[in-house]
Structure 1
Amino acid sequence: MTNPQGLAAYPPAVKHIEVLGYVEEVNGIFHSRDIGRSFELFGNVYLMFGDTFCNDSNGIFVGLANNTVAIIEDKGQPLKSKYLEIEESGFIKPFIPLTPEEQQLEKNKMGRVVLWAFGGVVEMEDGTGCLWYQKSIDHGMGNVEYIGTGIAKILDGYDGQPIAQRMDNLIFGPDEPRMGTFTAIADGDFIYLYGDRPDGKIVLARVYNGRHEGRLEEKEAHYYWDGGNWVHNWREAAVVIEGMQHGAIVRSKLFGQDRPFMFVGTSKWADSQVFMGASAKLEGPWKLEAVCKLDGIKENMGKGKWMYCIYPQLWASDEENAELIVTWSEQCPGGVVAGKLKLAGVAENDLGS
């Protein structure tokens, strides 16, 4: 029976952090990569990564993929991921494909097209998935031009490999909010999309789920939370989350029936801290507090470096014992690190006990 009071004390408090190690490729080749956000689809667990520096079996760099996806074949071994589509050279096939026009842009040396998906995958009613990605052009020397937000449908491929099929055109342009690229979650008849406004503050929209064919890619089908009602104009949207760079909102039983939605992430201040909070509603209010600070593994991940892309991994966690698995990213040439947060229980007054 579910404990109505939850399994962890609220506000959340971390008693202990255990660094478990890197999320590695089962073939033993180390790929510097980031993001590491998980999703469950087709009965499998997958991890999505951002920029992935691909190496061959001799450790020689063979190319940069701007996004990749790996499968967790055994949930009991959460640090073991496997790429299912690797070229003979060792280059890993990008998960979200480029269009012919984008490929030509790169051939013409007009920049590198990057498609990053920080917001996760939402399972649709037909069993497929959807993700919202940011399209940018990396012109080098830190000059990254944001183009807009697109949607990709995730289909079941062969031998467990998911296939990302991009919908035509971008749904939001460069001067519009990046809905769904911060985090996304399905609840009832709607998909709730969190994304940055042009000023960087996070707002919330919702759109009907897959029962309404085609609506996901129709801008006019989105309604925005203004603090009291759902409205059509995104400029009237209220800020629901402030100061966060990466994170996920997920359903969890850690904090009881009155707080079924949990946020885990990190701030825009490059402080390597885990921020947590819980809410009764997806609209909030979201009161997020720093609960611990994370470190890297590599020696060169010390002074001047910060941990980012902090995400909860509930599929690998032991909520009954108030233990939460999280992953975070080191700066290049680092990787995705996993750790276990031991949370204070509901009956604990002494956090040191």
Structure 2
Amino acid sequence: MPSPPPKLKKFERIGTLKDVNGHNYTRDIGCSSVFNRKPIWLFGDTFPLNDKGQMIGLLTSTAAMGNEREPTKSKYWICKSDGKPAQFIPFTDEEWRFNKEHQGGGKQRYFLWSFSSIVETSPGQGWVFFTKGRTQSTNLSDNVGYGVQIGRVSTDEHGMPVVTRCMNEPLFPHNTITWGSFETLIDHDYIYLYGEKGGQIFVSRVPNDCPTDRSKYEFWTKDNTWSKEQKNLKDLFWKLQSGTVFWSKYYNCFILIGCTMWADNKIIVRHAKRPEGPWTSDALLYQLYKPQSGFNYCVNVHPWAFPESNGGELLVSWTDQHTGVVELGKITWEGYND
């Protein structure tokens, strides 16, 4: 087993993530995890397109099943004949009515975005953390925030994930650290939640059997201890737009792979022995291409792919802002198959 730091041997672009139903989609985020032994992709804003390439609707949260052996393929397990999938994190009746009334204008709508994947706490049971907001215009800075909410994830009669929203009020209110909005992971008996405020990213944790109980949360401080108080918190990362924190079987450590807020199309990497760190500084893993317009964002990795490599190969995804689709690449670590 090689020792960290992680070193890139090869980076290959392997294609666009497409759905096997034959319909086309523009969609972003594209984080994933394994739930009930199935790889599950989560997307944010999703626009299904008809045969003429015209948008036929808007969803703010969709989920599709991945394919370990053919990672460029995904499958919406609930999908209408016109290609429109189901909203994964469900709207309340009030949110649904508001969106229906305002869908003609397109500027005002409620959204439910999950930038972190499902955390499975027992087989077929888990949680998803998401932010609720409302757009006011086409400018993201005008968005109204409602904080971080949580949904319980269980399975339907076919063993596929289904979300039930918990609590009437936010788990964490707006204008505080958005715990769980950057990333979540499970390690031993705890769920770790990475949250952002002012460009800085912090970490909290909660026993995996009670994530709806705010009194059970602990927060990592500058004293390198866990505290029940959200004071003197230690920032782990700075100015990261997105990323995945995962345990690497290949390097035997935690690795963060993501991208910055600078719109520079760089994939960065860090590593640590524990979820709370200490983490190494940003290192450039790979310089992505510059899209025809805009930039690449929502960089995530998916350790469930290429299972025969035992972590020596890694699936990475990003959203191309120009095309509006999730693109895929394969990382091969130094020393693998040498």
**TM-score w.r.t. length of structure 1:** 0.87
More displaced, 154-163 or 23-32? Answer: 154-163
Q: Does 1:165 find its partner at 2:164?
A: yes
When residues 146 and 332 of structure 1 are mapped into structure 2, their CA distance, relative to the original with a 3 A threshold, is farther
Q: Does 1:29 find its partner at 2:36?
A: no
Contact 1:154/1:164, CA 8 A, preserved across alignment: yes
Q: Does 1:328 find its partner at 2:321?
A: no
Q: Does 1:39 find its partner at 2:33?
A: yes
SS in 2 for 1:102: helix
| Cα offset, 1:188, TM superposition | 1.8
Contact 2:294/2:322, CA 8 A, preserved across alignment: no
Q: Which residue of 2 aligns with 1:239?
A: 235
When residues 101 and 235 of structure 1 are mapped into structure 2, their CA distance, relative to the original with a 3 A threshold, is farther
Summarize deviations over 1:7-45 as a string: whole Å, max 9, x none: xxx333323321100010112222011111111111211
User: Which residue identity does 1:145 align to in structure 2?
Assistant: V
Q: Does 1:225 find its partner at 2:215?
A: no
Identity within the alignment, %: 29
CA distance in 1, matches of 2:230, 2:187: 21
User: Which residue identity does 1:225 align to in structure 2?
Assistant: W
| Cα offset, 1:321, TM superposition | 7.5
SS in 1 for 2:256: strand
SS in 2 for 1:159: coil
What is the aligned length? Answer: 328
Gaps spanning 5+ residues in structure 2: where? none
Summarize deviations over 1:142-196 as a string: whole Å, max 9, x none: 1222211000111111334311111022111112111111111111221111101
Q: Does 1:337 find its partner at 2:337?
A: no
Pick from 263, 274, 277 the counterpart of residue 281 of structure 1. Answer: 274
CA distance in 1, matches of 2:118, 2:38: 13
| Cα offset, 1:89, TM superposition | 4.0
When residues 126 and 64 of structure 1 are mapped into structure 2, their CA distance, relative to the original with a 3 A threshold, is same
Summarize deviations over 1:251-295 as a string: whole Å, max 9, x none: 112223xxx211111111111111112111111111231111123
Summarize deviations over 1:305-346 as a string: whole Å, max 9, x none: 211111111111364573222111111532111111223228
| Cα offset, 1:108, TM superposition | 4.6
Gaps spanning 5+ residues in structure 1: where? 349-353
CA distance in 2, matches of 1:40, 1:308: 22
Q: Does 1:184 find its partner at 2:184?
A: yes
| Cα offset, 1:206, TM superposition | 0.8
Q: Which residue of 2 aligns with 1:131?
A: 128
When residues 347 and 36 of structure 1 are mapped into structure 2, their CA distance, relative to the original with a 3 A threshold, is closer
Cα RMSD (Å): 2.1
Q: Which residue of 1 aligns with 2:247?
A: 251
Q: Does 1:312 find its partner at 2:328?
A: no
User: Which residue identity does 2:325 align to in structure 1?
Assistant: G
Contact 1:226/1:238, CA 8 A, preserved across alignment: yes
CA distance in 1, matches of 2:69, 2:119: 23
Q: Which residue of 2 aligns with 1:175?
A: 175
Larger relative strand fraction: 2
Pick from 91, 114, 117 the counterpart of residue 114 of structure 2. Answer: 117
Contact 2:21/2:83, CA 8 A, preserved across alignment: no
User: Which residue identity does 1:235 align to in structure 2?
Assistant: K
